[in-house]
Structure 1
Amino acid sequence: MKNNNRHLSALALALLAAFPLGATAQSIDELRREQRALKEKVDALEKKLKDAESKPATGGMTEQEKQDFNRIAIKTEALEDSQESMGFRLLKISGQMDPSFIYNKLQRRSGFQFLNKVEDGGYNYDNSYFGMAILDFQKELEGGTKWRFTLAPNRGVGSVFDGNSPVHEASVSIPLSDLQTRFIAGQIPDWSGYEYLQPTLNKLITHNLLFDFTLPTAYTGAGMEIVRGKWIYKGVVANMNKSMRDQRERSPVFAYRVDYSRGEFQGFGFAGTHGKAANFTENIVDGLGEPIPQRDSTVHLFEFDAYFIRGDWTAQAQLSYGMQRKAAISVDPVTGDLRDARWWGISTLAAHKFTPRFEGILRMDYLNNRKNGGGLLGYTASDDRNGIGPGWTDDGTGTWTQNDTEKGTNRFALSMGVGYLFNLNTTLKAEYRMDRATEAVFLDAKNGGYKKTNHLIGLGVVVSF
């Protein structure tokens, strides 16, 4: 049998040399299906051969069957070598998309949202990471190095902070002393909070207030990932929300995350970002009234999150605190100087599966943003679509004036939704969301007035492979 195997290997190499990569015209799926079928035949023939060797008196494989076995074994080996030479070995390709329908009452807008550009209205709670299509390539090399390249045109993190980039993630993970101690580098989406960006991992359609307004978008840099038992540590020195620093900007941020799995059903994590990031305030103007561009300013962000998932129940929660130097919405009323923006918030989510396919979800958010007129990460001016900044008052004649500019508006959000697993690759979602503020800060597009409450209805279908 050993001599026969050596003969098969030599013959396989000869065939490959004569007909190089004969399977390249086939798709990877066809190659894999054919390889599986051939392996099943080889297994059956090997079993028959072993039975024949152990019981020679009962007969065994005929000469024709032996020839078939040799031919199948050679073809299987050739397919395996072809797959590896084309780079398909340990390559995983996956994707997902979620065409969505959104109705926003005060915006007087309803319709489908899918692959729309970030420039079309900017990043808002009713226009964030949904209505996207993702194609994800993951490759593991010999030795344990991992490579990941994820494309998400118009709706990925690259589009949010770079404007035109379709790259959502481009990262490498290289093992050092062992597979649990790794060097990581590249463009890495932010890892803060309990909620995930991808539609397949997010139970509702929209995201919570902390996700949308208090967390970084992505990091471009390098660092380490260490796994020790139930603990996972990650940290990078990076640019926050920038693929390259501007002129006269040299200071990076240090971003980290720590996760602990207490048991099979529960765990917690915390994340932080400290350093300098872009300051978008336009409250200081030159003699012509044009905004003076601000240099990057110091940010300190910290959040703690936890989860409990057991049986039909899911419970998640997050606490966040943040500040950015010279990024508040209102300037000092006496000196006219820029002031610091500060905020804190909480988000909780509970979900219950009434059946293995049908799940109900409830999420509640609160965001305290009163200091210095308000101001959040990337939101340094009043925003009457998202409900950020000082409120407005009607004098009774239809004329609206802004309230005390020293006080920003606190925000609430309540979301109720359902998810239905139509099949293994398709989930149907529906969500009702009520956003409320402590003052009238949501613009009513119908009459130009302001209200404290807005309503949103979303429908979506998530398909993945």
Structure 2
Amino acid sequence: LMPNRGNGITLLANEHGDIGNNILNTAVVTVPITATQTFVAGLMPSFGGYEVQQSNQMLTLTHNLLYDFSDPGSYVGVGWNYTPDGSQWAFKFMVGNEQYRTYGSVTQTGTNALGDPITTSNKIPTLTARADYTWSSALDIGGSFNIGRQTLSSAIDATTGQAVYGAGGQATSSGGYFFFGEVDASYTAADIQYNAEVDYGQQQRAAYNGGNAQWYGFSLLAHRKFNAPVVGRMGVTARYDLLADSKNGGGGGGVALNGNGMDPYNGFGIGADCLANSQANGGLGFECKGAVRQDVALDLLFYPTQQITVKVEYRHDWASQKVFLRN
């Protein structure tokens, strides 16, 4: 039981489409089959990326852009973990529901007796797998992939009474294929830690203009602990992230755009000036490109006791388009 943290986790919607405010964070049944093989089932975080979810294990105050907006969130499903005896390899496999949404898409058939939209579920599961190679006691290199079908956001058009799909209402169906892959590395030796990750993803019909969404990015992190006069044990962390989500107006993955093709709080989607120019000429901004997002985070960590960690972070975010609430 733990409150959800990070945009990548709070987008786990339940069967009614409600998001967040759920302290049931992880629920896993683990059954050892042999000394090297384990069966697992339940609500599990995805295999993507180097960053952990729990704040007390993070070396920064905030999550990186890939964790929040690129890497898959959580799954409900069944899996198989395998570590060959005496090998430096470790493998994980899982078949589960969609990365974020367990609820269905609105159909063309209207509403039920209670006035709620009739929905159909996505019955195609997602396959996800991960492999890790322990190069040495300090270096781990790994990667993961996801492939399946994802449900798009949907609503009933008040004018026509018909269902529309996608952020811009331009998608031709209620979903499409989803593919995501990443490689990451972690180096930990004494008081030093380095992390790196590269992501690539595609989602069919998930972009703002109804086309295919495509995103890619990377994250780099460096951390060092040391002893300082007066304050004692402390650490410093520097991180840089880039996430490009420009194709067809942006969208897909963990990027949730509004009806104007924007996420003004997280800085994704089309720019305000491009939308204004498009509307002035009778358009809806479907010709605009989405934003390329970057951030840099600098952290100081203090360890006054073994049970307490105090973090102070300076973070600066910017984008290639005018997409923030304050441009």
Shorter-chain TM-score above 0.5: yes
In structure 2, which of residues 263, 281, 291 is the aligned counterpart of residue 383 of structure 1?
263
Amino acid at match of 2:148: G
Matches within 5 A, 1:295-334: 295-330=174-209
Tell me, what secondary structure is at the counterpart of 2:268? coil
In structure 1, which of residues 388, 404, 427 is the aligned counterpart of residue 309 of structure 2?
427
Q: Distance in 1 between matches of 2:297 and 2:280?
A: 30
Amino acid at match of 1:161: A
- Quote the sequence identity (%): 30
Q: 1:369 — aligned with what?
A: 245
1:265-318 superposed Cα distances (whole Å, 9 cap, x missing partner): 111110111001221266x95744876245232100001000111232211000
TM-aligned CA distance change 1:351 to 1:213, over 3 Å? same
Shift of 1:155: 4.7
Q: Distance in 2 between matches of 1:223 and 1:188?
A: 10
Amino acid at match of 2:52: Y
Q: 2:216 — aligned with what?
A: 344
TM-aligned CA distance change 1:242 to 1:371, over 3 Å? closer
Amino acid at match of 2:197: Q
Counterpart contact for 2:11–2:254, Cα < 8 Å: no
Q: Distance in 2 between matches of 1:158 and 1:253?
A: 19
Q: Distance in 2 between matches of 1:394 and 1:231?
A: 49
Tell me, what secondary structure is at the counterpart of 1:354? strand
Shift of 1:244: 6.8
- Larger strand share, 1 or 2: 2
Counterpart contact for 1:159–1:166, Cα < 8 Å: no
Number of residue equivalences: 284
Q: 2:82 — aligned with what?
A: 226
Q: 1:145 — aligned with what?
A: none
Q: Distance in 2 between matches of 1:400 and 1:357?
A: 58
| 2:23 corresponds to 1:166 | yes
Q: 2:108 — aligned with what?
A: none
- Larger helix share, 1 or 2: 1
Tell me, what secondary structure is at the counterpart of 2:143? strand
Q: Distance in 2 between matches of 1:287 and 1:183?
A: 50
Q: 1:56 — aligned with what?
A: none
1:330-384 superposed Cα distances (whole Å, 9 cap, x missing partner): 2xxxxxxx21000100000011113272111000001111110111314352111
Segment drifting more, 416-425 vs 378-387: 378-387
Q: 1:262 — aligned with what?
A: 135
Q: Decide which structure has the larger Cα Rg and report it.
A: 1
| 2:300 corresponds to 1:418 | yes
Counterpart contact for 2:242–2:295, Cα < 8 Å: yes
Tell me, what secondary structure is at the counterpart of 1:215? coil
Gaps of 5+ in 1: 1-150, 331-337, 445-450, 452-465
Tell me, what secondary structure is at the counterpart of 1:210? helix
Amino acid at match of 1:412: Q
Segment drifting more, 291-300 vs 431-440: 291-300
Counterpart contact for 2:103–2:121, Cα < 8 Å: no
TM-aligned CA distance change 1:173 to 1:348, over 3 Å? same
Q: Distance in 2 between matches of 1:207 and 1:256?
A: 23
Tell me, what secondary structure is at the counterpart of 1:161? coil
Tell me, what secondary structure is at the counterpart of 1:167? coil
Tell me, what secondary structure is at the counterpart of 2:273? strand
1:390-416 superposed Cα distances (whole Å, 9 cap, x missing partner): 112399xxx999977431111110000
TM-score scaled to structure 1, two decimals? Answer: 0.56
Q: 2:111 — aligned with what?
A: none
Cα RMSD (Å)? 2.9
Amino acid at match of 1:324: Q
Amino acid at match of 2:264: D
Q: 2:58 — aligned with what?
A: 202
Counterpart contact for 1:281–1:327, Cα < 8 Å: no
Higher relative contact order (CA 8 A, sep 6+): 2
1:319-339 superposed Cα distances (whole Å, 9 cap, x missing partner): 000010000012xxxxxxx21
TM-aligned CA distance change 1:269 to 1:340, over 3 Å? same
Q: Distance in 1 between matches of 2:11 and 2:288?
A: 33
Q: 2:73 — aligned with what?
A: 217
Tell me, what secondary structure is at the counterpart of 2:13? helix
Amino acid at match of 2:265: R
Counterpart contact for 2:5–2:53, Cα < 8 Å: no
